[in-house]
Amino acid sequence: MSGTRKLWGGRFTEAPDETFAEFNNSFRFDKRLFEADVRASIAHANGLRRAAVLTKGEANSIIGALTQLLDDSRIDFKFFDSNAEDVHSFIEQKLVEAIGETGLKLHTGRSRNDQVATALRLWLREEIDEITRLTRELQSAIVDTAEGFQKVVMPGYTHLQRAQPVLFAHWCLAYFEMLKRDRARLADAYERVNVLPLGSAALAGTSFPIDREAVAKELGFREVSANSMDAVSDRDFAIEFVGACSILMMHLSRLAEDLILYCSQEFGFIELSDGVSTGSSLMPQKKNPDALELIRGKAGRVFGHHATLLAIMKGLPLAYNKDMQEDKEAVFDTVDTVKSCLSVAGIVFANIKINEHRMREAAESSYMNATELADYLVRKGVPFRTAHDVAGKVVLRAMELKKELDEMPVDELKAISSDIDEDVFAILTLENTIGSKLQIGGTSSEQVGQGLKDAREYLTK
């Protein structure tokens, strides 16, 4: 265990209450920021050297020790055994253990307030990259599946009632689109994460001539924050990130729900691989879609983190307040949850079995071509509202006769509307119902084929 030297002991005469210390300490979770904080500390040391606050020798000694800490942390499994208050004090302790007095100079011109904001942003930048990569992989699995089953038809639903037939690939590409928007939102959030708060110090800025732009450049930040009070108390970037993740998780939960329905005996459209299913301890026949149910459930957990962050920040006076330490676990758990859900969704998708026959059977029934009949009448000059009414009457009669529309005797059809002729049967086919949706975004194989091409092209970027 490292020592317990405090960063702020000077004006205190009594030791901290133990219960409070445990309550106050964040090291057990913010140690995840270790690497980011060391990298930011190295850039800060360079900044102090350029400002001639540190000599070259002092800066080198600090940077050498910090670099060594990074190496040690990777091989020494007891490295993080410490009762440090937080990751920032932990690093300073380790530094002073390694090089003595010189280590105490690193904190010149900075505060944990700008430090923690910097470390969290640095850390989050990499995690956003990783989440983006995993989202892309899921998109890729979706497109692979869609391409493999380009001719497969299925019912499309509204109100979970059979509505109009669509291509299975069309359904796949709907989720692809959602994930495209998610990536755009993450990229946008990244831009606002990518701003350097370091140099804002506690809240008022620093009196040492540190070139903040040079520090930003060294750490790869797009720009430096414009207002020191805002910089140390801004967690918009975290809220925005978790917000983008909430929408992403909402999409994954809808994907999960569709697939959970589709693999039920009632639908029977797909089968999940054994690898992502579980059995029942009681019912030997069961195969349950736990992977998807967990994704659906974990969406709620991420929404909760979003609400947590907003609630923490609401009404906080400027500038830094300790309330803000509560942001970490929400952000960390969001990252872990989203990453695991994306990975599992990708595996589920890559191994899905499609029951083409059941899907077609469902797509051919339930009068899902009734809109085609109405459109047919419109082309014969009947106003749509009237055509809709006629088609409705035909459906009613067909239900009485227990027939699908294309099985109706033509006389029955003519009895309802004299505008209906033999040529109606050509438009009532499943092929025409789907194939006629030729406008951009429609479910015809031409449009879906174009959608698949565009998706492939997007994935190469």
Catalytic residue positions? 159, 280
CB of 80 to ligand ARG, least distance (A): 16
Tell me if residue 25 falls in helix, strand or coil.
coil
* Cβ closest to ligand ARG, residue 132 vs residue 321: 321
Name the segment binding ligand ARG (CB under 6 A); options: 12-20, 108-116, 161-169, 235-243: 108-116
Name the segment binding ligand ARG (CB under 6 A); options: 11-19, 123-131, 316-324, 425-433: 316-324
Instruction: Give the number of other Cβ atoms within 10 Å of residue 101's Cβ.
Output: 8
How many residues appear in the chain?
461
Taking CB under 6 A as the criterion, the residue among 49, 112, 121, 296 binding ligand ARG is 112
CB of 14 to ligand ARG, least distance (A): 18
Query: How far apart are alpha carbons 186 and 244 in whole angstroms?
Result: 6
- Binding-residue total with ligand ARG (CB under 6 A): 11
Element (H, E) at 158: strand 153-158
Taking CB under 6 A as the criterion, the residue among 116, 196, 260, 455 binding ligand ARG is 116
List phi, psi (to 5°) of 388: -60, -45
* Residue 86 sits in the site that holds ligand ARG (CB under 6 A): yes
How far is CA 293 from its chain centroid?
17
CB of 186 to ligand ARG, least distance (A): 23
Tell me if residue 167 falls in helix, strand or coil.
strand
Q: Which two tokens stand for residue 10?
A: 């000077």
39 to 78: interface string for ligand ARG, x by CB under 6 A: ----------------------------------------
* Residue 234 sits in the site that holds ligand ARG (CB under 6 A): no
* Cβ closest to ligand ARG, residue 324 vs residue 455: 324
Nearest to 65 by CA among 104, 95, 29, 30: 95
* Residue 113 sits in the site that holds ligand ARG (CB under 6 A): yes
Instruction: Give the number of other Cβ atoms within 10 Å of residue 322's Cβ.
Output: 8
Taking CB under 6 A as the criterion, the residue among 61, 325, 337, 444 binding ligand ARG is 325
For 99-254, where are the E strands, in sequence order?
153-158, 161-167, 195-196, 223-224
Tell me if residue 417 falls in helix, strand or coil.
coil
Which residues in 358-397 contact ligand ARG (CB under 6 A)? none
Amino acid at 461: K
Which residues in 2-41 contact ligand ARG (CB under 6 A)? 26, 30
* Cβ closest to ligand ARG, residue 116 vs residue 153: 116
* Residue 164 sits in the site that holds ligand ARG (CB under 6 A): no
Name the segment binding ligand ARG (CB under 6 A); options: 12-20, 92-100, 321-329, 344-352: 321-329
Q: Tokens 């709620």 sit at which residue?
A: 300
CB of 323 to ligand ARG, least distance (A): 9
* Cβ closest to ligand ARG, residue 310 vs residue 459: 310
* Cβ closest to ligand ARG, residue 25 vs residue 73: 25
Query: How deeply is 286 buried, as exposed, middle or buried, from its count of CB atoms within 10 A (0-12, 13-18, 19+)?
Result: exposed
* Cβ closest to ligand ARG, residue 56 vs residue 322: 322
Nearest to 434 by CA among 443, 446, 425: 443
* Cβ closest to ligand ARG, residue 30 vs residue 372: 30
Tell me if residue 196 falls in helix, strand or coil.
strand
CB of 87 to ligand ARG, least distance (A): 7
Cβ atoms of 439 and 126 closer than 8 Å: no
Query: How far apart are alpha carbons 328 and 309 in whole angstroms?
Result: 9
CB of 334 to ligand ARG, least distance (A): 16
CB of 9 to ligand ARG, least distance (A): 13
* Cβ closest to ligand ARG, residue 7 vs residue 163: 7
* Cβ closest to ligand ARG, residue 87 vs residue 292: 87
Q: What is the DSSP string of 346-408?
A: HHHHHT-EE-HHHHHHHHHSTTTTHHHHHHHHHHTT--HHHHHHHHHHHHHHHHHTT--GGGS
Taking CB under 6 A as the criterion, the residue among 141, 238, 292, 324 binding ligand ARG is 324
CB of 89 to ligand ARG, least distance (A): 9
Cβ atoms of 84 and 6 closer than 8 Å: no
Query: How far apart are alpha carbons 174 and 191 in whole angstroms?
Result: 27
Query: How deeply is 435 buried, as exposed, middle or buried, from its count of CB atoms within 10 A (0-12, 13-18, 19+)?
Result: middle
* Residue 122 sits in the site that holds ligand ARG (CB under 6 A): no
Amino acid at 421: D
Name the segment binding ligand ARG (CB under 6 A); options: 47-55, 156-164, 320-328, 344-352: 320-328
Residues at the contact surface with ligand ARG, assessed by CB under 6 A: 26, 30, 86, 112-113, 116, 320, 322, 324-325, 328
